[in-house]
Structure 1
Amino acid sequence: MYTLNLNTNEFLAKHWQQTPVVIKNAFTNFVDPISADELAGLACEEEVSSRIIITKEKDWDIIQGPIHSYDAYGEDNWQLLVQAVNHWFEDSVPLVEAFRFIPDWRFDDLMVSFATPGGGVGPHIDNYDVFLLQGEGTRRWKVGDKGNYAPRGGDTHTALIDDFEPIIDVILEKGDMLYIPPGYPHRGETITTALSYSIGFRSPSQQELMSSLADHLLDTNTGTKRFISHNEPEIAACLSKEHQVGLVELISSLIKQPKHYQQMLGQMLSQSRFELDLCEPEQSLSLEDLKQAIEEGAEIARIGGLKIIMLEEDSESRLFVNGEVFDIDADEQDLAHIASQFTLSQDTVTTCINHHALGELVLKFLNKGYYYLA
């Protein structure tokens, strides 16, 4: 269990998506949920996204995983980064739960790094919110103010920039944390061999929203209405201002319809960017199997990284899970309870079984590998 020493209401009002802040002793007596050896074990797996970053005098080398040996890297100036650790390592999930004062749809992943002295990434700017939590060891972080920074080497496809003047210069020790909103340049350097945790939150871009809307319209064969006009320009080659406005209005009127944007948003925002560790049973479970397991003391746990999203004032009764839509005839309160719990207690599952539709929903989640008997 991880308890965050933070007035979350004050943080949301003063800092969230506004200004960076150092939170000393964010977790009292912090215990690393994963060891360096366990992290290295994850980095061996093909399904897990990992990389080594080697710090050079004026540059960095990146070696993409899987990583099977570290003999070539020496004892300093490199770090191992493993993405979506919460998907693959169950003991890390309680740490993620401590940050659920931010809604689940924003959560991206828990990235964990093991870094040797001198290891780090150069000055860069992220387009997402990040909490940088220090485990074992110490790291020095510098954060600059927002501004116009040239991409390093003129490469517009990199987050790296030239150096900046810091407004924060701090050494994080075990349990300390630094929050950085989008757009603030920052860089980290390892002082003593360290484990660090990056809890990232991401929102969709205009490009991603428009692309998802287009996919939704194609999948549902909707949005087929065409532009109609009553006044035509005198010049055949001219697209009149009236027609420009009319064509754009055709799009905007479509976007404003809940039947389109609600399903699109639910499917889009319930998907994870990283592969899930599905836990499908060897044989499909029946409702009787589920009843027996509960009677024998089992609980039902959600796999790490799975997002279950519900929409306030949804036009339909449904949940969105990993990009799928699950229609269910149930009260909003019951759906909210299922969506909010990482573990369903025996009492909760018994209640679901007695409510046939909810029992069938839990059974679907088990057989798809989204839940497992614990």
Structure 2
Amino acid sequence: MYKLNLNTQDFLALHWQKTPLVIKNAFTDFIDPISADELAGLACEEEISSRVIITKNDGWDIIQGPIEDYDQFGDDNWQLLVQAVNHWFPDSVDLVEAFRFIPDWRFDDLMVSFATPGGGVGPHIDNYDVFLLQGEGTRRWKVGARGDYSPRGGDTHTALIDDFEPIIDVVLEKGDMLYIPPGYPHRGETITTALSYSIGYRAPSQQELMSGLADHLLDTNTGSQRFISENEPKMPASLSIAHQTGILALLQDLLAQPQHYQQMLGQLLSQNRFELDLCEPEQEYSAADLASALSEGARLVRIGGLKVISLEGDTQSRLFINGEEFELNIDQDELAHIANQMCLDNDKMLAFTDSVELKKFLLTMLNVGYYYLA
């Protein structure tokens, strides 16, 4: 169990999405949830996103995974990055739990890096919030002020920028952590061979929201209302201000209707960017199988990285799970319990199976591989 040494309310009020913060001894007696060899093993897998970054005198080379041979990289000036480790390595899930004072819908993934001395990523700017937690070894981090920075080499398709003047220059040791909000330039350099953990949070962009709304309207065959005008401009080629605002008001009208934006947000924000390690059973569970497992003390555990989202003030009784909508006409307290708990204990499960609808839902979760019996 990982306990974060941080006053979370003060952090949310003073620093979250505002200013960077160095948190020394964020975790007392921190124990790495994964070893370098185990991380390297994950990077061998085709379905897991990984890469090696090699530091050179004139820049950085990126080698995309899967990675099987590390001898080619030598003893220094490179690092391995593996995305969504919490999806594939159950022992890392407890670390993510320590950060659930930030809403689940924002959470992106747990990225883990193994870096040799001199390994690192150049100065860059991210568009998401990140906690950088140090495991074994030491790394030096520099953070600059928000501002206008030139993309490295004029390449606007990369997050890399020209160098910056640091406002933070710190060496992180085991258990130390650095928080960086969006828009702050930063760079890391490994001093001694290190394991590091990046806990990232992102919010949808305007592009993603508009795309999500368009998908929702197409899927539900709604949003077919067209603009009707009360008067026409005198010039035939003119698109009047009244017409411009009237056309855009059609969008505003859609976004004011919960039946449109709630479903769109629930589906969009419960999706993952990275593949999940689904635990689909070899044979589908039956109601009798579930009852037998529960009689032996089984619990129902959510797979790593699965997002279960409920909407405050929802017009319907439902949960959004991995981009899907599940209607559940049950007590709101029960709905909230399922959404908030990573593990449904045996007593709760036994109570849930008294309900035909809940039993059907639990069996669905097991048979699609979103939960497993433990």
Q: TM-score range by the shorter chain?
A: over 0.9
The C-alpha deviation readout for 1:269-311, integer Å capped at 9, x for no partner, is: 0000000000001111111111100111211111000000000
Question: Aligned letter for 1:60?
Answer: W
Q: Distance in 2 between matches of 1:107 and 1:114?
A: 22
- In structure 1, the residue matched to 2:330 is 330
Find the residue that maps to 1:354 and give its secondary structure: coil
- In structure 2, the residue matched to 1:43 is 43
Listed as ranges, the matches of 1:95-106 within 5 Å are 95-106=95-106
Q: Distance in 2 between matches of 1:58 and 1:336?
A: 52
Number of equivalent positions:
374
Question: Aligned letter for 1:69?
Answer: D
Q: Relative to structure 2, which stretch is displaced further, 117-126 or 341-350?
A: 341-350
Q: Distance in 1 between matches of 2:100 and 2:281?
A: 29
Query: Is residue 111 from structure 1 mapped to residue 111 from structure 2 by the alignment?
Result: yes
Listed as ranges, the matches of 1:275-286 within 5 Å are 275-286=275-286
The C-alpha deviation readout for 1:124-164, integer Å capped at 9, x for no partner, is: 00000000000000000000000000100111110000000
Q: Distance in 2 between matches of 1:356 and 1:368?
A: 18
Listed as ranges, the matches of 1:229-268 within 5 Å are 229-268=229-268
- In structure 1, the residue matched to 2:204 is 204
Q: TM-score scaled by structure 1?
A: 0.99
- In structure 2, the residue matched to 1:298 is 298
How far off is 1:255 after superposition?
Answer: 1.1
How far off is 1:260 after superposition?
Answer: 0.2
How far off is 1:178 after superposition?
Answer: 0.2
How far off is 1:58 after superposition?
Answer: 2.0
Question: Aligned letter for 2:58?
Answer: K
Q: Distance in 2 between matches of 1:3 and 1:195?
A: 19
Question: Aligned letter for 2:347?
Answer: D
The C-alpha deviation readout for 1:165-224, integer Å capped at 9, x for no partner, is: 000000000000000000000000000000000000000000100000000000100000
Q: Distance in 2 between matches of 1:33 and 1:356?
A: 39
Question: Aligned letter for 1:127?
Answer: N
Query: Is residue 150 from structure 1 mapped to residue 165 from structure 2 by the alignment?
Result: no
Structure 1 residues not aligned, in runs of 5+: none
Q: Distance in 2 between matches of 1:357 and 1:249?
A: 41
Question: Aligned letter for 1:187?
Answer: R
How far off is 1:357 after superposition?
Answer: 1.4
Q: Distance in 2 between matches of 1:273 and 1:331?
A: 31
Question: Aligned letter for 1:156?
Answer: T
Structure 2 residues not aligned, in runs of 5+: none
RMSD: 0.5
Q: Distance in 2 between matches of 1:296 and 1:305?
A: 27
Question: Aligned letter for 2:122?
Answer: G
Query: Is residue 310 from structure 1 mapped to residue 310 from structure 2 by the alignment?
Result: yes
Q: TM-score scaled by structure 2?
A: 0.99
- In structure 1, the residue matched to 2:56 is 56
User: Which stretches of structure 1, 4 residues or more, deviate above 4 A after TM superposition?
Assistant: none
